[in-house]
């Protein structure tokens, strides 16, 4: 009788352990399941868009994984940021349709960058047929999970100046606000790289 009891207990332990592991994976804020990601994509309005890139990144100031999603529809590129919370994700930010100066881009243009001690989402692009350095039209966005703000830079060549002359560089209003200097500096650095300066 004792010989039969030990294998029975062992079988019960083996059957219970996988269920416990699956349950803790659901509640581990550092990770996520495909079901949770799928639910977030559906609730975030991305279910009918084509997905091009999904990047995970950390945030020192809060618990839970962060995910940047690049998608596209017939109306252009979209960027969304998801934050892992108990039970799934929240859609923290959505770009909506990005302007024409992001029209030509790719999945490699969605990146996670360090700005000071923070990881931010960066996406860039250029206008169709106008991707030529100083003679082009470019857009860059940064999203900060820490400040929960999106910052934009837009560059347009100046047709009244000779080819190769510096055009007009404009920043979103919040990039010029006190306390956001590091985001504006990051936009300037990224635009300098796009313009090959």
Dihedral over Cα of 115, 121, 127, 132: its sign: positive
- Burial of 57 (C-beta count, 10 Å sphere; 0-12/13-18/19+): middle
Residue 113 pairs with which residues in a beta bridge? 120
Under 8 Å between Cβ of 172 and 184: no
- What is the C-alpha separation between 2 and 14, in angstroms, rounded? 19
Place of tokens 């999904």: 54
73-127 tens-digit pLDDT = 888 999 999 888 888 888 889 998 899 999 999 999 999 999 988 999 999 999 9
- What is the C-alpha separation between 71 and 78, in angstroms, rounded? 5
The predicted pLDDT at position 61 comes to 64
pLDDT band per the 50, 70, 90 thresholds, residue 26: low
State what percent of residues in the chain have pLDDT above 70: 83
**Structural domain of residue 17, as residue ranges?**
2-194
Nearest to 140 by CA among 155, 160, 157: 155
Least confident span in 26-30, 113-117, 183-187: 26-30
The predicted pLDDT at position 83 comes to 85
Token pair of 175 as six digits: 């990039």
E runs forming strands in 34-144:
50-57, 66-73, 76-85, 88-94, 111-115, 118-126, 137-144
Report the alpha-carbon angle 87-91-95, nearest 5: 165
Specify the pairing of strand 76-85 against strand 66-73: antiparallel
Domain tally, the chain? 1
Count of beta carbons in the 10 Å neighbourhood of residue 39: 15
Count of beta carbons in the 10 Å neighbourhood of residue 56: 14
- What is the C-alpha separation between 49 and 96, in angstroms, rounded? 12
Token pair of 161 as six digits: 């100046």
pTM above 0.85?
A: no
């Amino acid at each position: 009788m004792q010989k039969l009891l030990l294998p029975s207990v062992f079988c019960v332990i083996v059957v219970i352990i996988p269920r416990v592991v699956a349950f803790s994976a659901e509640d581990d804020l550092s990770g996520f399941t495909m079901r949770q990601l799928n639910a977030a994509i559906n609730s975030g309005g991305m279910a009918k868009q084509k997905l091009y890139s999904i990047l995970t990144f950390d945030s020192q100031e809060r618990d839970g994984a962060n995910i940047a999603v690049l998608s596209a529809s017939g109306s252009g590129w979209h960027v969304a940021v998801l934050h892992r919370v108990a039970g799934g994700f929240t859609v923290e930010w959505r770009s909506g349709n990005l302007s024409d100066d992001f029209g030509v881009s790719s999945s490699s243009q969605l990146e996670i960058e360090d700005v000071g001690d923070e990881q931010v989402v960066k996406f860039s692009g250029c206008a169709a047929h106008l991707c030529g350095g100083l003679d082009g039209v470019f857009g860059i966005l940064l999203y900060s999970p820490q400040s929960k703000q999106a910052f934009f830079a837009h560059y347009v060549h100046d047709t009244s100046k000779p080819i190769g002359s510096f055009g007009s560089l404009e920043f979103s209003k919040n990039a010029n606000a006190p306390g956001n200097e590091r985001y504006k500096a990051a936009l300037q650095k990224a635009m300098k790289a796009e313009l090959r300066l």
